[in-house]
Amino acid sequence: MNSFNVWFSLLFIALFNEFQGNGKVGFYVEAIRGNLAERIEDHNYMVGIYNEEVRIVNGSQTMGAGQCVGVIIDPYKVVTAAHCVSGTYLNITLKFGSLNHDEPLYIHDVIIKEEIFLHPEYSIYRYLQNDIAVILLKKKIPFGQKIGKINLVERGYIPKVGESVSILGYTQLNEETTPSYFPSNLRYVNSTIADFQTSRQKNSDFNSALFVDDKEQFCVSSNDGKPIINMGDSGGPVLTRDNKLLGIVSWGMNEPEYLYDIMTLIPAYMDFINDPVQFTRATYLRLGFIKEDNPL
């Protein structure tokens, strides 16, 4: 990551603590409330992301740990939510090939400054706009029955209201201390695409600062009046009925009357996903952050 991304990461940590303190919005990590998956072979594209970071609590630095989810899209590339890998992390570890990441089949320790590419216009100012990152690994992921990749939807794919989707993650909600969660075997939940305008209006009614862009995001409905995600599994895949990657989990509301969860729309980011290095350089040139003769 370059200095520009690091600056945003520090600001994110400050806002992380501010928003957690009010108990209203939990947008930094999300967790799946659903059924247990039976075989990792059916979901071998799943990656557990575990990190250690420096957090700012009441003005003081403290150590913390967290987890998110990534998705394998080729032997060298994992996609996840930008906010999962944008902190002041000391270590980020990827775990592959298991329903429960206590016993992963394969582990990769990320080279943070060289393998992580946040979307160059990722922003926490507008509630996690462009909330996507590519982890571009220097070492090839060892594919097999339990570790593989998932195909993306086609460029230009537009999700339709009522379309069925599945969402996966590695945590389980602790109902007694909502919104607490604890690690779990892989879980999945089935849902549908929500009406975007209704979702955007609901979010705006709750907080006028909640900005949602239908060119980059889409909304998923609740499950029988209950939220389907909570804290713990951002970056997890949102899959179409034919098992293609449509989106990744970004953020949602912890208030029960606002039951629309926001996902990052994969087709909007094909150029970034295909070549994050070149896309980032081109964006920084366009925005004037670097000059033509400067390296990224």
Residue 83 belongs to a domain with what CATH number? 2.40.10.10
Pick from 68, 77, 61, 71: which is nearest to 31 by CA? 68
Rg (CA), the chain: 18
> Could you tell me the residue range of the domain that residue 88 belongs to?
3-28+44-149+269-287
Does residue 228 sit within a domain?
Answer: yes
The alpha carbon dihedral of 81, 83, 86, 89 has a sign of: negative
Q: What is the DSSP letter of 208?
A: T
Q: What is the rounded distance in angstroms from the CA atom of residue 80 to the CA atom of residue 47?
A: 9
Bond before 179 cis per omega within 30 degrees: yes
Give the CA angle between residues 58, 59, 60 to the nearest 5°: 95
Residue 261's beta-bridge partner residues? 220
Pick from 20, 70, 36: which is nearest to 50 by CA? 70
Q: How far is CA 215 from the centre of its chain?
A: 17
Same domain, 141 and 210: no
pLDDT at 140: 97
Q: Structurally, how many domains does the chain consist of?
A: 2
Write the pLDDT tens digit of every residue in 9-58: 333 333 333 333 333 333 334 445 567 888 999 999 999 998 887 666 67
| DSSP-based helix, strand, coil % in the chain, nearest 5 | 20, 35, 40
* Structure token digits, residue 181: 């969660």
Same domain, 250 and 179: yes
Same domain, 175 and 139: no
Q: What is the rounded distance in angstroms from the CA atom of residue 73 to the CA atom of residue 152?
A: 8
Same domain, 208 and 171: yes
Does residue 33 sit within a domain?
Answer: no
pLDDT under 70: residue ranges of the chain: 1-34, 54-57, 61-65, 124-126, 172-183, 203-211, 222-232, 253-259, 295-296
Does residue 131 sit within a domain?
Answer: yes
pLDDT at 32: 55
Does residue 38 sit within a domain?
Answer: no
